């Protein structure tokens, strides 16, 4: 049975990945680690939780030894918009944290998952059907750390024969976790406003097309990749994965089919708009489909219906 450590466990991805991993591998076999001193009750009651600084090799190594960890899901990172507000902190968390975790994983022979992002691309990248291997010249600190992280993981794989795997996530949409400073956060915020019967001000302009994915697909992709036969993996690290591609106005129209009285206006945030304009409209994920059988289950319509249904039930999340 795997023994797993998840860094950034209280973040957008980690808060949904941890319960799924615990269901699959056993609650005591999945250690959630984050920076919060008072995490959500589920992390205290449902399995081991540890406070951890991802730049502190000694404390990470101690946790790996304490719990006999053999697999690390390294999710701790500062997201795109927040990274632009504090690039020095973003570099420390995103890059120094990654290298620290890589070194711990190397010394303790751990398998590692590292998530990259559409942010790893830039304005000179082909925006439509963005290839698996293409030019990557991001103009944000977040994107720079993701490209550097991809390359660093490739280096550790080639230099030390480590088992390192990862995906490039599109924008992620979840009903369980509030947005955390990303450029695609409008696609989460809009649902919270709609269910509360409040008008929404979109910070991206009409017609801004971006890759998106509903969180259940994202969680499933991570686990499927980590369980895939290593002999089938050619790229291993930073697989493009996608599920849907839409604009704010298209998502608004989809929500209006369920909630006809919902209204949205535009109040463009220049920083996040510039970031969004540098990202792909839709990635080509044929490598992931061919090498480990990736296949999304949700399109925009199915995701919209479920988001509204779940948020209505999760009353505490929308107050």
Spatial contact of 243 and 289, defined as CB atoms under 8 Å apart = no
Which is it for strands 210-214 and 244-246: parallel, antiparallel or unpaired?
A: antiparallel
The rounded distance, in Å, linking the Cα atoms of 39 and 140 is 30
State the catalytic residue, choosing from 67, 73, 142, 214: 142
How many whole angstroms separate alpha carbon 197 and alpha carbon 262?
A: 6
Q: d(Cα 216, Cα 213) in Å, to the nearest integer?
A: 8
Kindly list the distances between the CA atom of residue 80 and the CA atoms of 26, 29, 117, 194, 199, in Å, as whole numbers in the listed order: 33, 31, 10, 25, 25
N-terminal to C-terminal alpha carbon distance within the chain? 40
Q: Kindly tell me the burial class for residue 225, based on how many C-beta atoms sit within 10 Å of its own C-beta (0-12, 13-18, 19 or more).
A: buried
User: Is 186 an active-site residue?
Assistant: no
Closest CA to 5 of 57, 70, 55: 70
| Phi and psi angles of residue 32, each rounded to the nearest 5 degrees, phi first | -90, 130
Burial class of residue 275 (count of CB atoms within 10 Å of its CB; 0-12, 13-18, 19+): buried
Question: Could you give the CA distance from residue 46 to residue 51 in angstroms, rounded to a whole number?
Answer: 16
| Positions marked catalytic | 142
């Amino acid at each position: 049975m795997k023994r797993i450590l998840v860094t950034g466990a209280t973040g957008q991805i980690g808060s949904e990945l941890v319960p799924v991993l615990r269901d699959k591998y056993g609650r005591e076999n999945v250690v959630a680690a984050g920076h919060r001193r008072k995490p959500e009750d589920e992390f205290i009651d449902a399995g081991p939780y540890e406070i951890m600084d991802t730049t502190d090799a000694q404390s990470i190594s101690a946790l790996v030894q304490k719990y006999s960890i053999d697999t690390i899901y390294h999710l701790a990172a500062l997201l795109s918009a927040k990274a632009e507000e504090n690039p020095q902190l973003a570099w420390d968390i995103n890059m120094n944290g990654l290298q620290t975790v890589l070194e711990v994983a190397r010394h303790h022979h751990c398998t590692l998952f590292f998530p990259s992002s559409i942010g790893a691309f830039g304005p000179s990248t082909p925006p439509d059907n963005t290839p698996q291997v293409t030019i990557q010249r991001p103009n944000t600190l977040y994107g720079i750390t993701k490209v550097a992280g991809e390359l660093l993981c490739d280096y550790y794989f080639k230099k030390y024969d480590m088992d390192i795997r990862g995906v490039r996530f599109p924008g992620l949409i979840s009903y369980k976790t509030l947005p955390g400073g990303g450029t695609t956060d409008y696609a989460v915020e809009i649902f919270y406003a709609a269910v509360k019967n409040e008008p929404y001000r979109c910070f991206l302009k009409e017609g801004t097309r971006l890759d998106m994915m509903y969180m259940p697909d994202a969680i499933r992709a991570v686990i499927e990749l980590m369980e895939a036969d290593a002999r089938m993996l050619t790229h291993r690290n930073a697989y493009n994965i996608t599920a849907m591609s839409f604009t704010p106005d298209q998502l608004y129209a989809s929500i209006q089919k369920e909630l006809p009285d919902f209204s949205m206006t535009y109040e463009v945030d220049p920083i996040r708009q510039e970031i969004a304009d540098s990202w792909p409209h839709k990635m080509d994920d044929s490598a992931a489909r061919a090498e480990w059988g990736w296949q999304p289950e949700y399109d925009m319509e199915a995701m919209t219906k479920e988001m509204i249904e779940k948020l209505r039930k999760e009353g505490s999340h929308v107050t």
